[in-house]
């Protein structure tokens, strides 16, 4: 796989990961038990690791597009973290709290739904921006990736 193809694949995978996480959150908000939910920051997730370590990415995307993605990605993790704290973070580490798995209060659920609405808009904007990046990457010659 060429470096260009790898950049396109990583950008596309970022969109897929956002979609998957949004589905998990929606299921959780609707009362479905969801597994494998983890909290990370913009540097720890797969896309963030690639995005912040990829050689010449700022030059390839262009500074404005790069900064926009960085900002949107950071905001996504911030809002996601707020929902995570309500639904997935264990409030207490004791044996009984793990057994009982206390449900969030109605007020907490309302807050999470409001955060989710904000996150949904942000995710759509981030996905749209990543699509622009994919088109830009596809249009560039291989020499830009060496």
pLDDT tens for 47-93 read 888 888 887 889 889 999 999 999 999 999 999 999 988 888 764 44
Q: How far apart are CA 119 and CA 90, in angstroms?
A: 22
Q: Poorest-confidence range of 36-45, 58-67, 98-107?
A: 98-107
Say what the pLDDT of residue 35 is: 74
Say what the pLDDT of residue 90 is: 60
Please determine, for residue 7, whether its predicted confidence score (pLDDT) is greater than 60.
yes
Q: List CB contacts of 50: < 8 A, sequence separation 6 or more.
A: 10
Say what the pLDDT of residue 49 is: 87
Q: Poorest-confidence range of 40-44, 111-115, 127-131?
A: 40-44
Q: List CB contacts of 2: < 8 A, sequence separation 6 or more.
A: 142, 145
Q: How far apart are CA 12 and CA 131, in angstroms?
A: 8
Cα torsion for 17, 23, 28, 31, to the nearest 10°? -160
Which residue is listed with tokens 């990736």? 145
């Amino acid at each position: 796989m060429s470096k260009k193809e790898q950049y396109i694949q990583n950008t596309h995978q970022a969109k897929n990961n956002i979609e998957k996480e949004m589905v998990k959150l929606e299921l959780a908000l609707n009362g479905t038990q969801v597994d494998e939910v983890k909290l990370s920051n913009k540097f720890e997730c797969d896309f963030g690791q690639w995005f912040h370590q990829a050689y010449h990415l700022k030059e390839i995307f262009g500074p404005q597009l790069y900064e926009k993605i960085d900002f949107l990605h950071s905001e996504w993790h911030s809002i996601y973290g707020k929902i995570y704290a309500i639904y997935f973070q264990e409030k207490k580490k004791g044996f009984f709290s793990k057994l009982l798995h206390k449900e969030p209060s109605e007020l907490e659920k309302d807050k999470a739904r409001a955060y989710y609405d904000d996150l949904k808009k942000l995710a759509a904007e981030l996905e749209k921006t990543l699509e622009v990046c994919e088109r830009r990457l596809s249009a560039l010659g291989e020499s830009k990736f060496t």
